[in-house]
Structure 1
Amino acid sequence: MSSTDTRPTVTVLGGGYSGIKVAKALDDVADVTLVAPSDAFTHNSAAWRALVEPEWLDRIFLPYDRLLARGRFMHDRATAVDGRRVTLASGQVLEPDHLVLATGSGYPFPAKVDEPNAATARARFRQAHGELRGASRVLVIGAGPAGLELAGEIRAFHPEKAVTVVGADSDVMPGPFDQELRDELRRQLDKLGVELRLGSPVRDLPAVPPTVLGNVVVTTDDGEELTADVWYQAFGVKPATGYLRGALAAARHPDGTLRVDGQLRVAGGSGVYAVGDITDADRDGIGTAGAQAELVAANLRAHITGEGELRSYVPGPMAIAVPLGPDGGAGQLPGLDGVVGAEMIAALKGKTMLVEPWAALFDT
């Protein structure tokens, strides 16, 4: 198509894993606008590594202005979306032909960072790294994949620090995982010297803010008092859908996720799609977000060009990789029976943190 004036307009709200894939995939057939509240994509999968080794900061922030060859990036945030009418914090209003909601989820820093630009985000990471270096005892509250990965990172790069993980459940990694995976991760954590306090939640969160050096004290429901010099919150995912209005707001579940159909169209919205953490179509994860983005992009491309058939989203098999530092970890991977161990997880993620595949999208 020779002119962007004749191409349909697509607005993608959110510049996370799913948002950048949709925007990139449609850049050649649509007039694409990507809206994100920061000036750079953050490769959150490597956030824990950047906390313990700040030289990774130069690799995990990728400027959005390098993503699209023809489309445009707007450094802005949606404050209200009703149908395909998008009102931004700047006051601008967008009414695209197709709207893709990819606003993702919030999670406590430093697993995710909510800063307006990469410079302030880097500074916040460096501050948190300095606080960690000054601590002798570290407390991680949350024994899911994020909490275990963080504990493994700290012990791998700072073995002199005592690390304790607290979890409310009786075992690590609550969820649809094989017990063999939990057992293997616990074995490796024990070898790393990570202490686990499981089966009793903390009564209250510490008075000291997370990531800040201080006198950290918590008491579990069974009465055990734990102390540390710094603590991290490894729980609390919140889908970012509070900006929705009208029929789109009615599609929200109590947990903030959105009801979508087989083609990931939002219930009650004509021409409105949702991908990634905010949908009820599948479990959270980078792989899931990527698969949903590819499907929506393919269906929109078929609609725009008249070529190809529309497809429905089918959740994939269980897949998870939990590195414990560069050389440890375990996971469950499609097509492989049982649990894979440290060697494969290190090669798949632990050593590279999957930076290059995502960085390649920004080579316009």
Structure 2
Amino acid sequence: MTKVIVVGGGYGGIVVARALDDVADVTVIEPKEMFFHHVAQLRAVADPAWQEKIFFSYDGLLSRGRVIRDTAAEVRPGVVELASGTRLDADYVVLATGSTGPFPTRLDHPERDAVAGRLRELHDSLDRASGVLLLGAGAIGVEFAGEIAAAWPGKPVTVVDPSAEMFGGRFPDEMRADVARQLDELGVRVLLDTKLDTAPDTPAGAVRPFTVTTGAGEVIAADLWFACYGGTVSSGYLGAELATARRPDGRLTVTEHLRVTGQERVFAVGDLNDTPEIKTGRAASRQAEVAAANIRALIEGGPLTPYEPFPDGIIVTVGPAGGAGYAPEFGFFDAEAAAGFKGTFLLDHYRGLLGA
């Protein structure tokens, strides 16, 4: 059968693999012991009851293919060499290695127990902290602030961002104003258009008193802080032929059919590629569907499907009962709608997708 290797078992990789399992010999390369639903990890930090809900085994993902727990050391068209020394040949390769971010944006340890332990440590640190400083008023900073304030009412939480607008000014004023109102009602202080003279002199995640000074001269005291911005993609495993498509930020340029530029049988989905859109799990899943459809078309014959990037849209939680969002096709989401849509973080969907 046609051999397809999917490098990465995250949000995009699992969709591609499952979609092609009936028509190809699919192999997923993934270093993690289990699928980690990191979109829900901030809820799991605040509410320990969630810590058992966000890990899913890969055992039920494929009925005919397989998941190999390993890391891609070098990928070339038609060949994937693993860190273990194994060489795998493929007719098609899908690159879906995602991105990484600062602690606690991502907890990228490959062992499930290690990640669960880190979640418990984070919860304990927040429980002991007398005040929390979050750097960044994007989606991560907003959601983390809301989770902390809802789980520990009265604990001082301050969010600082050099941008003059929350979310960098993206999305309608109504949505941003509603998020700001909900944070204020929870007691979260948001300082926009604010820079710090220096970063805190304690490690992120360590409970230790510190002070920082804003550019306006205000002194902020806390004993726990986190960076809630920034992210990078890992593409150092690319061989010379594929590396020609790599941009300075590490992302790969792709065609409208999600092929890596210059390649006929290598695709890239999710955070790794350069599609002009906000990088979300929703976008990664849709890209995976299109890439899988195009590989199927190449195998069976048929027209290719172009990928259409999503216009700007987002739903953020502000604690378990709050949130807001916006999507061009639906308009503004209020707190009830946002919490109702995102309250479960689509656990049932991913549980079904992974056959868990």
Q: Same fold (TM over 0.5)?
A: yes
- Quick one: structure 1 residues 165 and 85, their matched pair in 2 at CA, closer, same or farther if it must change by over 3 Å? same
Cα displacement (A) at 1:327: 1.0
Q: Name the stretch that deviates more: 200-209 or 27-36.
A: 200-209
User: Given the alignment of the two structures, is residue 184 of structure 1 paired with residue 178 of structure 2, yes or no?
Assistant: yes
- The residue identity in structure 1 corresponding to 2:341 is L
Match of 1:193 in 2: 187
Match of 2:204 in 1: 210
Q: Residue 357 of structure 1 is aligned with which of 333, 344, 349? A: 349
- The residue identity in structure 2 corresponding to 1:341 is D
- Quick one: structure 1 residues 203 and 102, their matched pair in 2 at CA, closer, same or farther if it must change by over 3 Å? farther
User: Given the alignment of the two structures, is residue 303 of structure 1 paired with residue 298 of structure 2, yes or no?
Assistant: yes
TM-score by length of 2: 0.95
Cα displacement (A) at 1:255: 1.5
Q: Residue 37 of structure 1 is aligned with which of 31, 41, 47? A: 31
- Quick one: structure 1 residues 104 and 175, their matched pair in 2 at CA, closer, same or farther if it must change by over 3 Å? farther
User: Given the alignment of the two structures, is residue 343 of structure 1 paired with residue 320 of structure 2, yes or no?
Assistant: no
d(CA) in 2 for partners of 1:11, 1:231: 40
Q: Residue 124 of structure 1 is aligned with which of 118, 127, 131? A: 118
Matches within 5 A, 1:321-340: 321-337=315-331, 339-340=332-333
Q: 3-state SS of the aligned residue for 1:165?
A: strand
Asked if the contact 1:128–1:212 (Cα under 8 Å) also holds between the matched residues in 2, the reply is no
Asked if the contact 2:154–2:187 (Cα under 8 Å) also holds between the matched residues in 1, the reply is no
Cα displacement (A) at 1:270: 3.5
Cα displacement (A) at 1:175: 4.8
d(CA) in 2 for partners of 1:149, 1:117: 25
Q: Which runs of 5+ in 1 are unaligned?
A: 1-6
Cα displacement (A) at 1:168: 1.1
User: Given the alignment of the two structures, is residue 277 of structure 1 paired with residue 271 of structure 2, yes or no?
Assistant: yes
Match of 1:247 in 2: 241
Cα displacement (A) at 1:222: 3.3
- Quick one: structure 1 residues 122 and 176, their matched pair in 2 at CA, closer, same or farther if it must change by over 3 Å? same
Taking every aligned residue pair, what percent have the same amino acid on both sides? Answer: 45
Q: Name the stretch that deviates more: 61-70 or 144-153.
A: 61-70
Match of 1:146 in 2: 140
Q: 3-state SS of the aligned residue for 1:266?
A: coil
Cα displacement (A) at 1:159: 0.8
Q: Residue 163 of structure 2 is aligned with which of 169, 179, 183? A: 169
Q: 3-state SS of the aligned residue for 2:230?
A: coil
Q: Deviations over 1:139-178 (max 9, x none)?
A: 1111101100110111111113110001011121115311
Asked if the contact 1:110–1:125 (Cα under 8 Å) also holds between the matched residues in 2, the reply is no
Q: 3-state SS of the aligned residue for 1:66?
A: coil
Asked if the contact 2:31–2:110 (Cα under 8 Å) also holds between the matched residues in 1, the reply is yes
Q: 3-state SS of the aligned residue for 1:32?
A: strand
Asked if the contact 1:145–1:173 (Cα under 8 Å) also holds between the matched residues in 2, the reply is yes
- Spell out structure 1 runs of 4+ moving beyond 4 A: none
Match of 1:4 in 2: none
- The residue identity in structure 1 corresponding to 2:238 is L
User: Given the alignment of the two structures, is residue 286 of structure 1 paired with residue 278 of structure 2, yes or no?
Assistant: no
Match of 1:3 in 2: none
Q: Name the stretch that deviates more: 110-119 or 39-48.
A: 110-119
Q: CA RMSD in A?
A: 1.5
Q: Deviations over 1:280-336 (max 9, x none)?
A: 113201111111000001111122223x43110011333210110111111002422
Asked if the contact 1:51–1:110 (Cα under 8 Å) also holds between the matched residues in 2, the reply is no
Q: Residue 82 of structure 1 is aligned with which of 51, 76, 86? A: 76
Match of 1:108 in 2: 102
Asked if the contact 1:13–1:101 (Cα under 8 Å) also holds between the matched residues in 2, the reply is yes
d(CA) in 2 for partners of 1:96, 1:42: 26
TM-score by length of 1: 0.93
